[in-house]
């Protein structure tokens, strides 16, 4: 088989996706590429690793040619709060980086997975049961770049036949690595704090309801969408997918069931609160369910239990 390239390999999704792809397709068929130097230890240990700045098209081209890549999971991107802090860099990495990947994919006939996000919606999108096709006027650079990415991927499919596919991920909760610079990061930080300090100060207000997904479901969503027969897809690059939707209070209450002494306080960060306030409460993911059988396996209850179990083991090992 032609190999699979994962950009953004050291990020929150990449760190979990790479072992899953290696298990499914074999280690020698997966190439990890991240902007950092090869990690000294960890899941990327075995197998190919390349340091890559996706803004450099020649570097993207070299890796895709050298490793005979047939499929690209293009995850390299700045998250929402980081993108607001440096919108120029965010455009460069998130849009120009994707454009480079699509151009090389066009010339070398690669399939491309590119994640969009709840961030592709804005304050004028319907907040509840947000349809897949609706008003999208995001007010963040992250969102502007995500909408552009969705459209670029559609364009490369329609005009050049590049097999592009993508989902709109909600906030992702994972134990493999911590997200950096995102608005939904609280939903990961809270678990570390609950286990280590028994208390957490949240940067979003207690009522901020957002879509979320546990990492095993996110990994499965990406791989399942890439594997489904093309004929089944009516849409391509902007499938709403979600597993659960909750507020910080609801998550804290669920954690308290396992760790009764846990407590939460709030110190709202106005930048991240404004971003979260512009995003949906809950997306409608019926198109993904109908077209490629998307079905989450974790709800808040089972996610919290599994996160606490996995993270306790991890923290004891450190």
Tell me the catalytic residues: 142
Of 29 and 183, the one with the shorter C-beta distance to ligand SER is: 183
Which residues, 6+ apart, have CB-to-CB distance to 265 below 8 Å? 199, 200, 201, 202
Distance CA 39, CA 32 (A): 11
Of 48 and 150, the one with the shorter C-beta distance to ligand SER is: 150
Of 185 and 304, the one with the shorter C-beta distance to ligand SER is: 185
Q: Give the single-character DSSP code of 288.
A: H
Of 136 and 184, the one with the shorter C-beta distance to ligand SER is: 184
Interface contacts to ligand SER, rule CB under 6 A: 79-80, 117-119, 142, 169, 171, 182-184
Which residues, 6+ apart, have CB-to-CB distance to 215 below 8 Å? 12, 13, 16, 172, 173, 174, 175, 176
Least distance to ligand SER, CB of residue 159, Å: 27
Residue closest to ligand SER (Cβ): 182
Least distance to ligand SER, CB of residue 161, Å: 28
Distances (CA, A) of 187 to 67, 146, 234, 260: 37, 22, 33, 18
Distance CA 92, CA 132 (A): 26
Least distance to ligand SER, CB of residue 11, Å: 11
């Amino acid at each position: 088989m032609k190999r699979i390239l994962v950009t953004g390999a050291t990020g929150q999704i990449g760190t979990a996706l790479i072992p899953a792809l290696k298990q499914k397709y074999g280690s020698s068929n997966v190439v990890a590429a991240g902007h950092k130097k090869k990690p000294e230890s960890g899941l990327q240990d075995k197998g190919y690793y390349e340091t890559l700045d996706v803004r450099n098209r020649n570097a993207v081209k070299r890796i895709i040619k050298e490793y005979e890549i047939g499929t690209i999971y293009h995850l390299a991107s700045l998250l929402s709060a980081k993108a607001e802090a440096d919108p120029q860099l965010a455009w460069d990495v998130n849009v120009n980086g994707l454009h480079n990947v699509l151009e090389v994919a066009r010339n070398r006939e690669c399939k491309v997975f590119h994640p969009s996000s709840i961030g592709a919606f804005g304050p004028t999108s319907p907040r509840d049961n947000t349809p897949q096709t609706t008003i999208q006027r995001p007010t963040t650079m992250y969102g502007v770049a995500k909408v552009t990415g969705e459209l670029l991927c559609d364009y490369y499919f329609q005009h050049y036949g590049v097999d592009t596919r993508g989902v709109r991920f909600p906030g992702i909760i994972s134990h493999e690595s911590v997200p950096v610079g995102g608005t939904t990061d609280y939903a990961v930080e809270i678990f570390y704090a609950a286990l280590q300090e028994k208390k957490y100060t949240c940067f979003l207000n207690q009522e901020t309801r957002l879509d979320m997904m546990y990492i095993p479901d996110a990994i499965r969503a990406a791989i399942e969408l890439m594997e489904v027969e093309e004929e089944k897809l009516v849409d391509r690059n902007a499938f709403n997918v979600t597993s659960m939707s909750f507020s910080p209070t609801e998550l804290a209450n669920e954690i308290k069931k396992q760790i009764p002494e846990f407590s939460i306080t709030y110190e709202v960060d106005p930048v991240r609160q404004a971003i979260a306030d512009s995003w949906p409460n809950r997306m409608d993911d019926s198109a993904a369910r109908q077209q490629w059988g998307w079905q989450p396996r974790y709800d808040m209850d089972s996610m919290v239990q599994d996160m606490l179990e996995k993270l306790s083991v991890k923290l004891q090992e450190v």
